[in-house]
C-alpha cells in the first residue's frame, strides 16, 4: 500500500476528528465541549470535501457548524452561569457509559467488517447541483420528495411550538 496525498489528508482528518471527539466528552466545561464538537463537525465536513462531495460538506458547515453549534452556544450562554463544571461521575454511571460505548463500537465494527461493500459506482468529479435538486424534488424511484416535505412539516411544527412557548399570553 503506497502512501498518497489522499491517504495523508484522510489520516490527518481522522486523527483530528478522533482527538476532538474524545476531548468533547472528557472536558469538564460545557462551552469547551461545544467548541470541540464544532471542530469534530469541521473535520467531518473536511472528509466530505475530500470525497469531492462539496454539497454535503457545505451543508454540514452551514447547518451543523453555523447553525446547530451557534444554537448550542446561545442556549449555554443563556442558561448556565460562569463557573459551571460538570459534576463528577459516580461509578455506576461510568460503568453504564463504558458498556454502552463498547457495545456501540462492537456493533459498528461488526457491521463494517462483515458487510461486503458493492464495488463503488462513485463518479469522480463534482455532482452538479441540478442532479441533487432533481433527486430531492422528484417523486419517482430514488426521489426524495416525501421525506423532504415531511421534514418541512416537522420544521413548521417546531416553529409554531417555539412561538407558542415564547408567547406569554
Q: What residues make contact with other proteins under the rule CB under 8 A?
A: 4-6, 29, 31-32, 35, 38, 54-55, 57-59, 61-62, 65-67, 69-70, 73-74, 77, 82, 126, 128-130
* Residue (105 or 137) nearer to other proteins, CB: 137
Residue 33 sits at the vertex; the CA angle it makes with 14 and 67, to the nearest 5 degrees, is 85
State in angstroms the smallest separation of the CB of 41 from other proteins. Answer: 10
- For residues 67 and 38, the answer to whether their CB atoms sit within 8 Å is no
State in angstroms the smallest separation of the CB of 22 from other proteins. Answer: 16
- For residues 69 and 41, the answer to whether their CB atoms sit within 8 Å is yes
User: By C-alpha distance, which of 19, 62, 14, 55 is closest to 37?
Assistant: 19
State in angstroms the smallest separation of the CB of 59 from other proteins. Answer: 7
* Residue (21 or 73) nearer to other proteins, CB: 73
* Residue (97 or 133) nearer to other proteins, CB: 133
* Residue (75 or 117) nearer to other proteins, CB: 75
- For residues 47 and 10, the answer to whether their CB atoms sit within 8 Å is yes
Exposed, middle or buried, 147 (CB in 10 Å: 0-12/13-18/19+)? exposed
State in angstroms the smallest separation of the CB of 29 from other proteins. Answer: 7
Amino acid at each position: 500500500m503506497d502512501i498518497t496525498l489522499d491517504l495523508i489528508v484522510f489520516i490527518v482528518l481522522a486523527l483530528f476528528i478522533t482527538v476532538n471527539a474524545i476531548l468533547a466528552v472528557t472536558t469538564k466545561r460545557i462551552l469547551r465541549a461545544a467548541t470541540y464538537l464544532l471542530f469534530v463537525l469541521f473535520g467531518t465536513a473536511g472528509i466530505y470535501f475530500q470525497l469531492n462531495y462539496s454539497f454535503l460538506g457545505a451543508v454540514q458547515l452551514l447547518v451543523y457548524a453555523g447553525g446547530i453549534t451557534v444554537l448550542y452556544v446561545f442556549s449555554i450562554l443563556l442558561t448556565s452561569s460562569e463557573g459551571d463544571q460538570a459534576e463528577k461521575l459516580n461509578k455506576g454511571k461510568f460503568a453504564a457509559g463504558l458498556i454502552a460505548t463498547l457495545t456501540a463500537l462492537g456493533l459498528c465494527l461488526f457491521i463494517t467488517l462483515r458487510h461486503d461493500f458493492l464495488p463503488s459506482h462513485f463518479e469522480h468529479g463534482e455532482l452538479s447541483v441540478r442532479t441533487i435538486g432533481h433527486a430531492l424534488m422528484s417523486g419517482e424511484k430514488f426521489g426524495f420528495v416525501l421525506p423532504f416535505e415531511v421534514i418541512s412539516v416537522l420544521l413548521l411544527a417546531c416553529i409554531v411550538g417555539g412561538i407558542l412557548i415564547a408567547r406569554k399570553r
